[in-house]
């Protein structure tokens, strides 16, 4: 057993952990970061992301401050809109059915823009997300759904820049290092016990930051907490987030918080691997263009309003809807009117895709779909579409269906113009919503709502932020805001501690 001593130990190696490690080091603390994954697979779910950040902004001039090389031509062809703190808070409230912890929501929103600037100061570069968050429609882009920017190089680029900054700030990183237990003494946290390359080590620290993800990669906990069937979901990202941080904190008296039966889960390539693969084409699994088509189940029936809102506000809850269908799968169906809008992943190798010039041929090729049910659905759907309303992918265009049991509220083009394409999807889990209770300074709270001295948390394992649903690109933003706060607070505490 090797004995070592630090001011702050950060557990986890993704965005929240790196923000915490950086902020603690900037505070003057001696910091150790423990990443369970080997170096080649470091970075957690953060490295799998598209790198989107949801921040408050007031239009082009704020965006230019974050993207200094934005050209005048880009500005001229783009409507960035505005995303005020009030709208952000409204979105968080509405999306979570007003269960969100209001103090955590305020902290996230009010610190979002400043934290993006803080990341820029540490080498992260941001770009506007044309194509994903704004479509080229009649020569103009208009950003929708509250998100404009993403980190250069996506999640992989973000994490790379953060590891570089951590090295520059003198953070020690150990890979293949799985924290197992938090050491708690009479005054509070005293360190952690970890398995490093199969050997147990005790690491002394005045403060510990937990930033080691949710329990999405733990098949057994998924079934236990999310419910039957969740063992069958594919994990979109890292295999290392198995709930260790949550368990370790609960073991020393932390309070569980948030929606333990809830998670972020999307319609995902049906035959995707069990976990994301950082070396492979993990992004090939995305099937986020469903607002421009329809989704049908094994009976050939629609089961969800594909156009209820911008995809940023529906995708994270529709994975659950797919999982609930017979056989846990569905097909997304598009006609030639929408094919130009499909995201690049639809064209990548590994997509379960069929194409045909007639709908009869198409359904014949769609594995395990009832053809009569499908034909009836298409007939009724096409008859219900408001044909006189103009289609516009950048706004909620109100082009809806009328009179169906499950109506489509926006972007309801008919499915009638060949060629037709269909893509088979299953459920891909992104991260879990239940976790630990923290205050706005990221102290982990016990059942009496009292801080456990020296223990801080940030990122996915924080409960109370998301319920039922999630607004796209709030995860990295939350991890950054609370990670930075956790590092600052833990660093300050450790240096003050006797
Ligand atoms: C495919 C995909 C796309 C996404 N796109 C976006 C997006 O564009 N924008 C957005 O905001 N969010 C996105 N998300 C969600 C986002 O990934 C998470 O909200 C965010 O990355 C969580 O950060 P984190 O640091 O809490 O967790 P992670 O980045 O998952 O980091 C957890 C870390 O803890 C480590 N770990 C686990 N157990 C232990 C242990 N016992 N000891 C030591 N280390 C341990 C893991 O190895 C990992 O490094 C996406 C997620 C996926 C999967």
Across the range 101-129, mean pLDDT stands at: 97
435-436 and 136-137 beta bridge pairing: unpaired
Of the two residues 132 and 6, the one the predictor is more confident about is 6
Best mutation site among 46, 108, 209, 269 for ligand 1 pocket (most ligand atoms within 8 Å of CB): 46
* CA 214–ligand 1 middle distance (angstroms): 8
Does residue 2 have a pLDDT over 50?
A: no
pLDDT category, 131, cuts 50, 70, 90?
A: confident
With beta carbons less than 8 A apart as the criterion, state whether 466 and 479 touch: no
User: Which ligand 1 atom is at minimum distance from the Cα of 34?
Assistant: 43
Q: How far apart are the C-alpha atoms of 192 and 179, rounded to whole Å?
A: 7
Task: Report the pocket of ligand 1 as residue ranges, CB < 6 Å.
Answer: 11-17, 34-37, 43-46, 48-52, 178-179, 211-213, 236-238, 240-241, 244, 430-431, 459-460, 473-477, 479
Residue nearest to atom 2 of ligand 1 (CA): 49
User: Which ligand 1 atom is at minimum distance from the Cα of 37?
Assistant: 47
* CA 43–ligand 1 middle distance (angstroms): 7
pLDDT at 434: 98
Across the range 371-390, mean pLDDT stands at: 98
Q: Which of 371, 370, 378 is nearest to 333 (CA)?
A: 378
* CA 460–ligand 1 middle distance (angstroms): 7
pLDDT in tens, 312-325: 999 999 999 999 99
* CA 251–ligand 1 middle distance (angstroms): 22
Half-sphere exposure of 457 (CA within 13 A, CB side): 31
When mean pLDDT is compared across 36-40, 70-74, 105-109, 300-304, the lowest value belongs to 70-74
Best mutation site among 466, 476, 484, 486 for ligand 1 pocket (most ligand atoms within 8 Å of CB): 476
* CA 479–ligand 1 middle distance (angstroms): 9
When mean pLDDT is compared across 69-73, 217-221, 245-249, 264-268, the lowest value belongs to 69-73
Residue nearest to atom 27 of ligand 1 (CA): 213
pLDDT at 119: 98
Residue nearest to atom 18 of ligand 1 (CA): 475
Does residue 280 have a pLDDT over 90?
A: no
Percent of the chain at pLDDT > 70 equals 98
User: Which ligand 1 atom is at minimum distance from the Cα of 458?
Assistant: 26
pLDDT in tens, 57-82: 999 999 999 999 899 999 999 999 99
Residue nearest to atom 4 of ligand 1 (CA): 49
Q: What is the pTM of this model?
A: 0.96
User: Which ligand 1 atom is at minimum distance from the Cα of 473?
Assistant: 11
C-beta pairs of 131-135 under 8 Å, 24+ apart in sequence: 132/50, 132/52, 132/343, 133/52, 133/312, 134/78, 134/394, 135/341, 135/393, 135/394
With beta carbons less than 8 A apart as the criterion, state whether 20 and 486 touch: yes
User: Which ligand 1 atom is at minimum distance from the Cα of 245?
Assistant: 41
Q: Which of 434, 382, 430 is nearest to 408 (CA)?
A: 382
* CA 31–ligand 1 middle distance (angstroms): 20
pLDDT at 1: 43
Does residue 39 have a pLDDT over 70?
A: yes
Task: Give a three-class secondary structure readout of the chain.
Answer: CCEEEEEEEEECCCHHHHHHHHHHHHCCCCEEEEECCCHHHCCCHHHHCCCEECCCECCHHHHHHHCCCCCHHHHHCEECCCECHHHHHHHHHHHCCCCCCHHHHHHHHHCHHHHHHHHHCCCCCEEECCCCCCCEECCEEECCCCCCEEECCHHHHHHHHHHHHHHHCCCEEEECEEEEEEEEECCEEEEEEEEECCEEEEEEEEEEEECCCCCCCCHHHHHHHHCCCHHHCEECCCCCCCCHHHHHHHHCCECEECCCCCEEEEEEECCCCCCCCCCCCHHHHECCCHHHCEEECCCCCECCCCCCCCHHHCHHHHHHHHHCCHHHCEEEEECCCCHHHCCHHHHCCCCCEEEECCHHHHHHHCCCCCHHHHHHHHHHHHHHECCCCCCCCCCCCCCCECCCCCCCCCCCCCCCCCCEEEEEEEEEEEEECCEECECCCCEEEECCCCEEEEEEECCCCECCCCCCCCCCCHHHHHHHHHHHHHHHHHHHHHHHCC
Does residue 354 have a pLDDT over 70?
A: yes
* CA 221–ligand 1 middle distance (angstroms): 17
When mean pLDDT is compared across 214-223, 275-284, 419-428, the lowest value belongs to 275-284
User: Which ligand 1 atom is at minimum distance from the Cα of 50?
Assistant: 8
435-436 and 451-457 beta bridge pairing: unpaired
Write out the two tokens for 200: 């147990």
* CA 59–ligand 1 middle distance (angstroms): 29
Across the range 376-401, mean pLDDT stands at: 96
* CA 9–ligand 1 middle distance (angstroms): 18
Does residue 340 have a pLDDT over 90?
A: yes
pLDDT at 283: 64
* CA 422–ligand 1 middle distance (angstroms): 30
Considering the chain, what is the average pLDDT of its residues? 95
């Amino acid at each position: 057993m090797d004995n070592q001593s630090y001011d702050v130990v950060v557990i986890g190696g993704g965005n929240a952990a790196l923000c915490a490690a950086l902020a603690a080091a900037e505070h003057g603390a001696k910091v150790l970061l423990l990443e369970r994954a080997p170096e080649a697979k470091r970075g957690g779910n953060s490295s799998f992301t598209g790198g989107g950040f949801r921040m408050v902004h007031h239009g082009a001039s704020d965006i230019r401050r974050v993207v200094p090389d934005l050209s005048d031509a880009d500005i001229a062809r783009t409507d960035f809109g505005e995303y005020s703190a009030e709208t952000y808070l409204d979105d968080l409230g509405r999306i979570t059915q007003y269960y969100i912890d209001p103090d955590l929501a305020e902290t996230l929103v009010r610190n979002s823009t400043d934290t993006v600037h803080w990341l820029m100061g540490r080498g992260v570069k941001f770009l506007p997300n044309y194509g994903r968050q704004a479509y080229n429609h009649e020569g103009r882009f208009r950003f929708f759904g509250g998100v404009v920017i993403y980190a250069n190089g996506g999640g992989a680029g973000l994490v790379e820049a953060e590891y570089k900054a951590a090295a520059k700030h003198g953070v020690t990183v150990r890979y293949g290092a799985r924290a197992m237990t938090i050491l708690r003494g009479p005054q509070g946290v005293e360190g952690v016990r970890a398995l490093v390359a199969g050997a147990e080590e005790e690491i002394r620290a005045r403060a510990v930051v937990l930033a080691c993800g949710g329990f999405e990669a733990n098949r057994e906990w998924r079934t236990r907490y999310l419910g039957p069937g969740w063992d069958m979901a594919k994990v979109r990202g890292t295999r290392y987030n198995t709930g260790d941080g949550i368990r370790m904190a609960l073991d020393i008296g932390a309070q569980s918080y948030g929606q333990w039966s809830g998670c972020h889960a999307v319609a995902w390539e049906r035959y995707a691997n069990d976990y994301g693969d950082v070396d492979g084409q993990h992004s090939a699994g995305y099937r986020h263009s469903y607002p421009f088509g329809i989704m049908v189940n094994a009976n050939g029936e629609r089961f969800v309003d594909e156009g209820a809102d911008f995809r940023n506000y529906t995708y994270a809850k529709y994975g659950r809807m797919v999982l609930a269908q017979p056989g846990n799968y569905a097909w997304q169906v598009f006609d030639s009117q929408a094919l130009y809008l499909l995201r690049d992943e639809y064209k990548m190798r590994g997509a379960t895709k069929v194409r045909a010039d007639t709908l009869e041929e198409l359904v014949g090729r769609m594995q395990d779909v009832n053809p009569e049910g499908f034909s009836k659905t298409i007939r009724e759907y096409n008859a219900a579409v408001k044909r006189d309303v103009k289609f516009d992918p950048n706004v909620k265009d109100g082009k809806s269906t009328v009179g169906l049991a499950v109506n489509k509220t926006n972007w309801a083009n008919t499915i009638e113009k060949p060629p037709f394409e269909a893509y088979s999807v299953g459920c891909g889990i992104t991260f879990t919503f239940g976790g630990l209770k923290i205050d706005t300074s990221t102290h982990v709270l016990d059942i009496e709502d009292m801080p456990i001295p020296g223990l801080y948390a940030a990122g996915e394992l924080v409960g109370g932020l998301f319920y039922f649903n999630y607004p796209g690109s709030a995860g990295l933003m939350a991890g950054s805001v609370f990670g930075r706060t956790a590092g600052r607070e833990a660093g300050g505490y450790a240096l003050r501690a006797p």
